[in-house]
Amino acid sequence: MFVVASLSILITMALALIRAMLGPTVFDRVLALNMFGTKTVLFICVYCFASGRTDFLDLALLYSLMNFIGMVALLRFSQFGSFGGKGQELSQ
Amino acid sequence: MDMLELVDIFVLALLAATAVAVARVRNLWAAVMFTGIYSFLGAAWMLILDAPDVAFTEAAVGAGISTVLMLGTLALTSREEKPSKKSPVLPLIVVVVTGSTLIYGTLDMPRVGDPSAPVHTRMNPSYIEKSEHDMHGEMPNVVTSVLASYRGYDTLGETTVIFTAGIAVLLILRKPGKRKTELPNSAEQKGSHG
């Protein structure tokens, strides 16, 4: 059952990867990356239960944090062209 | 267990597809994003290989910091890669030869989880025997106690090196506009003192 769940998560990851490759706009790719990160968290959880080592679940927490920070950085960059700072506020 | 191997093959196939996508895509912004996906997949693969500490590092450094640093680099350069006019044959040959040499090198390595491998036979067993007592309780992972306690000074030195490298990268990536406003002031100060 866990194997079927992880395989279906992997198929979803493959679909997100295809969207990131094709994606014409920036936001298709951002959404694909965000979904990919979420699916990685899910995949780690399922794989931990499938292999019986549930103490690796902490990694899934770290991944969701990383996904959030990376997404904020990507969106800031795509909106402002760089990462804020004094000069950036003036150029707004 | 055979079904779990199917999952492993799927993850490796996704890794290969992402690597090809990084090499093929011309939009550098998309390439940075694909490296983020690659780090997520690589960290998941390291977790499958029973290396949670390396997976932690890969997630923090690969998916977190390096994505931000590469985006900071993109802010200083252009977003599109210039098409190369050189023939790709020679680099392809170099890559194929290097890759086959590396694969040839792995033939001598012991199989994953082999109990007679040197990494399982040469180590002093006292780390495993005394780790739980030395760490005052239930430590589920011996690697953590070795890394953070027995080799604590070593890890502190490594952290210092990484911190210094991070400061250097931040200094390089600093906005050039700020320095221009500072330079005339410092020149004036020097002139007034002299």
For residue B148, give the amino acid letter: A
pLDDT at B13 over 60: yes
- What stretches of B94-172 adopt beta strand conformation (E)? none
Say yes or no for a CB contact (<8 Å) between B63 and A14.
no
Residues A51-78: tens digit of each pLDDT: 887 777 887 888 888 888 878 877 877 7
Quick check: is B138 in a domain?
no
Closest approach of chain B CAs to the CA of A70, in angstroms? 6
CA B86 to chain centre: 30
State the pLDDT at residue B96: 94
Confidence grade of residue B141 (pLDDT, cut at 50, 70, 90): confident
**What's the pTM value of the predicted model, to 2 decimals?**
0.70
User: Mutate which of B71, B77, B80, B179 to test chain A, going by most A C-beta atoms within 10 A?
Assistant: B71
State the pLDDT at residue A82: 59
Quick check: is B97 in a domain?
no
pLDDT at B20 over 70: yes
Domain count, chain B: 2
Confidence grade of residue A92 (pLDDT, cut at 50, 70, 90): very low
Confidence grade of residue A27 (pLDDT, cut at 50, 70, 90): confident
Residues of chain A positioned with their CB less than 8 A from the CB of B4: 3, 50-51
Mean pLDDT of chain B: 79
pLDDT at A86 over 70: no
State the pLDDT at residue B178: 53
Q: Residue B152 is part of which domain span?
A: 143-194
Quick check: is B166 in a domain?
yes
Structure tokens at B177: 């506009």
Confidence grade of residue B161 (pLDDT, cut at 50, 70, 90): very high
State the pLDDT at residue B192: 44
Mean of pLDDT values over A5-16:
89
Quick check: is B184 in a domain?
yes
pLDDT at B86 over 70: yes
Q: Nearest 5°: phi and psi at B124?
A: -65, 120
What are the extents of the domains in chain A?
2-84
- CA terminus-to-terminus distance, chain A: 52
Closest approach of chain A CAs to the CA of B143, in angstroms? 14
Burial class (CB in 10 A: 0-12, 13-18, 19+), B41: buried
Give the closest of B3, B37, B44 to A17, CB-based.
B37
